[in-house]
Structure 1
Amino acid sequence: MNRKSRFGGRIAGASMALVLMGGAANVMAVPVTFFGEDPTTAGNALGANSSQARSDFLSNLSGVGNEDFESFTSGDISPLSLSFPGTGGTLGATLTGTGQVDSGTSSNPGRFATSGVNFWEVETGSFTINFADPISAFGFNGIDIGDFVTDQMVLSLTNFAGETSQLTVPHSLNIGNSDNATLFFGFYDLENTYTSIAFNNAGGGDLFAFDDMVIGDAGQITPDPTPVPEPSTLALLAMGLLGFGAKRRFSSKRA
């Protein structure tokens, strides 16, 4: 009887630990996001936080390209044909929607290129990037985002199966008009590939700038093979393991 109870206790505790570890696996399966923001900069490059987030994102990728809009002319409007190097060849993309290529020579308070002189400028509204080949990673620099807006920017992702999901860019609100704010936002996904990303810009009648977009396919993602679960998941896992140990001690005493 006691032996059976000890054995049953081990099974129950082990099951709890496995369930919790399964929860950790589920957390890791969602897109891994990277975000950094600098509400005020000198106005000629990404701020330190934005640069660090971009560096962290790129450290998980290999062989990717960068769209800096320098091959376009100031005033060009959508659709714009974009191309990036992929694992098996060129990754094609088409940018559609409101906006135009702008140059750093124009007088736009707070907006500037983070490399070269050109950037993609968008008035309140939305634009979409459609991919000729499914992609698994995407990132961009955002400039002057967060002033005169009423909510945060949302990215709507359509995966290869036609399902949609959303990622919110958690930028600050009510940033000064001439503070030269910068941010970086990016993600990679080990489970899904995507055929389009729509930028739903926050309301408020503002203008935003985007530059140095990065696109990568599944074969270009080279993440750390031992990702760290979120703190809340680690806490749950620890509680499960502690419960497992306590149950074993209790069973031993009864024996």
Structure 2
Amino acid sequence: MAGHSKFKNIMHRKGAQDKKRSSMFSKLSREITVAAKMGMPDPDMNPRLRLAINAAKAQSMPKDNIQRAVDKANAAGGENYEEVRYEGYGPAGIAIIVEALTDNRNRTATNVRTAFSKNGGNLGASGAVSHGFDRVGLITYPASAGDADAIFEAALEAGAEDVSSNEDEHEIWTAMDALHEVAKALEAKIGAADSAKLAWKPQTTIEVDEANAASLLKLVDALEDDDDVQTVWGNYEVPDAVMEKLG
């Protein structure tokens, strides 16, 4: 697929994005609820909640849905979600990091392990692959937000460390502890981002061939189909020609 970024979550592939839109609101709602429960329910006083709400708005999530997710944080008898990370290997030894928000660790662990085992991978121990990634901030804007030079200049002025632009979007990378500050500065300059979150950026990448790419995409899709899974990161690079063949 033209413009495919080797770093971004596979959810951003056009076809996958359309297919998974129905589950996207559920994942966004869960992040809003967790963010509101961990801090103040006021987004102006809670940076994580502000980013979560902005991400929901960027996906056209209705205001009522957003407010319900915030309200759930203080609702009696509401779900208590916890953040869990899983690490493992996909086809061709690709390193995979899975981030989840769950109210049942046993269920989520079983589902993640099953997704790996059925799609040519295996779940590893905590810390098995994360040493090969950097923990950073990632802010994304659609290509329509501005040309590459303008976004690059705005991002650097806001304190970002790197910018990558393609025909679909702009990816702005920040230091982990600068994410909220940079996102707020960019919002004032060019509007709310599509997303702003902590990310796992691979230190090196592995280019996968067509056979392994097909299996890898099935694994990532299986993981992302799970309601508990929020994000999936990997150290892979899929060539545009291979993406076009796979559709």
**TM-score (norm: length of structure 1):** 0.25
**TM-score (norm: length of structure 2):** 0.26
